[in-house]
Structure formats: structure tokens, C-alpha cells
Structure 1
Amino acid sequence: MNHEAQQDLTYHHEVTHNTEEHSAAWRGWQITCDQVTDGQFEGEVTELAFDDLQLIRDRSNQALVKTGQAMKNFLTFSVPARQHTQEFYCDGHLSVANHILIAPADRLPEIHTPSNLDIFCISVDLDVIKNMLSNQGIESGLNSYASSTYLKEACFGEELSDCLHTIFSSDLSTQQLEYSRIQNGIKGTIMQHLIDLADSGDNYAITPLARKVMVDRAREYVLANLDTPPTILELCNVVGASRRKLQYCFQETFGLSPVSYLRIMRLNAAHRDLLHYSNQYNIQDIAAKWGFLHYGRFASEYRTLFAELPSQTIKRAS
């Protein structure tokens, strides 16, 4: 088996009341924030960090000039939250709203942020993402990103922004984050979105037989590991294809996206656990075990698939 190992994940949240506190809240970074607009400063920095991947949600009510640097050989992606529509200045150049900023972590540009900023920042080990691109057979211009600052239209990262909203809007608990499925799910999903940003390929000219072979290989891997359904990142690495390529093959051959297929497999795994329910775990624990971060969303998807709520499954099975 080639399952992803449990990760070392840390969670940190800090409410800040001045620019010095706000700068210090960026752990592993050397950041200087100068306040530009008038008024009392209020901010929040929320961090989820692995050894090779760091996710930060940065919120502040005042306009700032921000400079600094992060870890060497890391690449940063700054992704606007859905509500963020204001223009900002990057190294003295006006940038229109809703662009993703990609920059080497040790050579960050000077940013003049707007008031009421709400933005996600991802910092990833460059060697790790290069290795994953190689595993999926993707050629990209990632080396150019590692040496210069780029602004990319946010339409390329709309799904990434939605994913980050889901993660940071969750009522995260230490207990949830102990589950390897939650850890691997967060990391795998973000890494795959970053790989998608680097993949400029479109639909692929693949024969029906070749599509069927790829889908069969992916399904065989999933079915051989029903006790631990893989993430989409793991599946792409095992098959040796990008998510776009794998999705194209699944859709053309199976009528489902690989993400939908994996979600169904995880829901079925949770269903089996609930059919053999014991008081040792509650329903939320079972949902987290299979990588469902939002219990409400899990319950809704579960009811759609099985025509009953998880609690009803327990009552019917007991």
C-alpha cells in the first residue's frame, strides 16, 4: 500500500490589537506591518501548519504596508477570500482585485493592502510540489514562479478559495485534527489545487481504451483500500496522472468525477462503521475518521446517498 502517512499538523489562532502583534503572529515569517489608515487596529491570524505546507488566514481592518520574508526554497500563494474585491499595490504597481499572488517566500514583494483585508496565504516547499508534478507527469513553469513574482487571475483558483473557506470556516478542534484522514485530506486537497494551478494542460486526446485502463487502475486501487480510501492527491500520484487528466478519463468512462467517486467510497466506509456502531465513538468521530470536516455537510451527503440520517442508521442497526 502507498497510503499517505499521518502528518504533524499544528493549529494556531491569534487575535491581534496592533501591527506588532500582527507581525509576530506569522510564525516562521519575518514580517513588518506599517499601518496606513486611521483608527484602532484589529486583526486575526489563523494558521494550520505541516512541516512542508503552511496555511494562514490573514484578516485586518486597517490598510497596511507589508514587507518581509518566509522560509527559503518555499513558494507562497496569496489567495483572496470571496468577499475581497478591492485593488491593492504590489511593489508599487496597482493590481486589480481578485488576483492570486505567487512569489518566492524568501523574496516577497512589498504589498500595500486595502482596509478590511481577508486573504489566505499558502507557503509550500518547492521541492515537494516539484516532486508531485513529476509524479503526475505534468510539465510546468514552476521554476519561473520560484524566481519572480506573478499575479494570476483568481478564476484559476476559485475552487482553491472555496476549499480554504471550508477549512478555515470549520469549528476546528484538537480532537478533529488528530485524525489522519482529516490531516491528509486537508494537505492533499490543498496540494492538489496548487498542482492544478501549475498545470496548463487542457483536455487530453486519449483513446477510449487508454481512458478505461487508467480508470480501472484507479478504481482497483480504491477498492483494494476500502478501509482507508485515498485522497485525490494520492490517487493521482499512484496512477501517474494530473487531476484534470484523471477527471477527464473518469467522466468519459464512468460518468463521475474522481472526487465524487472518492466521496462516495468514504460515505460508504462511514456507513459500514455506523452499521456496527458502538458507544466508544460518536457520529462526529466517525465522520472525522473518514475525513469529513463539516459534520452538517457529512450528514446531508449521507442522507442524500442512503435516504436516512446517520442517527437513523444507528437506530435501525441496533
Structure 2
Amino acid sequence: MQSLLSERSRVFEHADPYAVSGYVNQHVGSHCLRLPAHGRPEASLNHRKFSSLDLCRISYGASVRVTSPALESIYHLQILLRGHCLWRGPGQEHYLAPGELLLINPDDPVDLTYTEDCEKFILKIPTTLLESICAEQRWQHPRQGVRFVENRYRLEELEGFVNLLGMVCQEAEASERLPRIEDHYQQIVASKLLTLMKTNVSRECLASPLLSFERIDDYIERNLKQDIDIEELARQARMSLRSLYALFERHARSTPRQYIRQRKLERIHACLADPSCHVRNVTELALDYGFLHLGRFAESYRQHFGELPSDTFKRRG
């Protein structure tokens, strides 16, 4: 993995770790650095900008702890090159060894402790890049964004990925930079990530020739908490509004809006009736599914299920 940024990209060598941390905050991602109480560690950093990606190779020269509440609009892909790293997540922790990869989502808290001999490679990826790939391929994901549902991998599990990163680093260090080539490479990197790793993205496209009501229904089911726009639903299905309404009339004997409202009410009813489903109160659940007028919601619920939502909730015990 020596091909992941050479000395040509050196920004700091034998430097103050806080100076390196300040540079990382500016270019790679906001964080807080904690150094050991004693000693004078020396940090090193290589860095290149590559289209909308940032490539970084870093070592702090001490057992440091890096924390951040969340990365917000970026993903961090971190590959451990040397030493070890303790990752702490909600209710769990894991020691990363050389050759392991950690992928941090934008809303994941960061809590990492590195050994003194630790060196890592970081790839910073903007959320907009992965979303643009999904839009271009017409892949589906929840509106809150693309998320990696597994965050740790051995590099040998990701066929060809390290070699791809090596080529990206070589292009980033080339004497003549070609923006169009860089754009192509970043698209390939993002597509590889979405293909090789487990995410909340469905690569089964609504717009395929085998389009059916069941697949549109599945899209609605996965986005019930969202405000599903009917025109956007028609665009996703690559059909006119008229055709969409005809499809719903054939299969559901209702309009798309009526059908979505019915599915939302059914989901709420199931949650209220299920003791294992965590519900604090009826109002909060109704608001979660977009029912802002609580009086109308209660009346619609009563018409569908023959009782008020509060009665269903009380009966669960």
C-alpha cells in the first residue's frame, strides 16, 4: 500500500501534531485532537486534492485520540497502513489492524485512538458525489441520504479497490493534471463503493422495463415517513402523471395520494398495536408520518379502523 500517496505529496514532516491537526480540520474533516500528557511527538502528513475528493496520509507519532460529533456533509474512508486503531461506536468497539478499512458516515460520531506507530490513509468523499451517482443510475435511497450499513472491511474483501485507490493517487501526483480524467476517476471510486459495500441504496431501478405496481409500492413502503411527491414518483417511474393515476386505479382502486395516506395509516396502526414497537405517544407518531392536522388524522384513523388511535395505543398494554 505504499502507492497511496508518495513523498511528492508531503505537507508536514516531523511537525507539531496540533499544526497537522489544524490542517486536517481545514482540508479533511473537523475533529478534536487529544495528545498524551508527556513527550514531544512528531507528526507527518501527505495530502492531495483530486476533483471533489481529498486524499490524505497521516501519522501523529503518538498515541492520540481523535473525536468529532459528526462529519456532517462528508464520508471518511480510512485504511490502516501501520500500527493499530481503537474505534468506538454506540455500544461497541473494535481494534483495527493494518489492512482493515473503516467507513464513517456523515452522521456517525467519531471516536478513534491510535497507537504511537499508527499511520493511516484517509479518503474524504462529499455526500453530493454519492447522491449524484445514485441519481445518474436511478438507484433508490432514503431521503435522509446514502448510508453505509457496515463500516468495517478487510481490504481483500473489496476486489480491486486498493489498486483503484493507487491509480487515483498516481493521477493526483501527476505533473500534468487533467480535470476530466479526475472527474471520471472519482465517479469510478464512488460507484465502486456503492457496489462493493453494504448500503441503504437499492440498485434495482424503478425505471426498468419490468416496472410493476408492486415495485412502486415497495418504493412507497421504504419512504413512508417522507413527504412523497406524486410528480417525483411519476418521474422515478418514467411515466406521465396520467399513466401513474391509471396504474393506481387499476391496482388499488384509488389515487396515488389516497393510497399513500392509507399505507401511512396502516403503518401507524401496526406500530400502535405492537407492544414491541417503541412509541412514546400518538401525537409524535402521527407527526413522524406527516400528519400535521391531528384532528383530521384521528378522524381518518377512526374511519379506517373503527376506533381512535389513542384507543389502539391503550389496548396494547
TM range (shorter): 0.3 to 0.5
Give the structure-1-normalised TM-score: 0.47
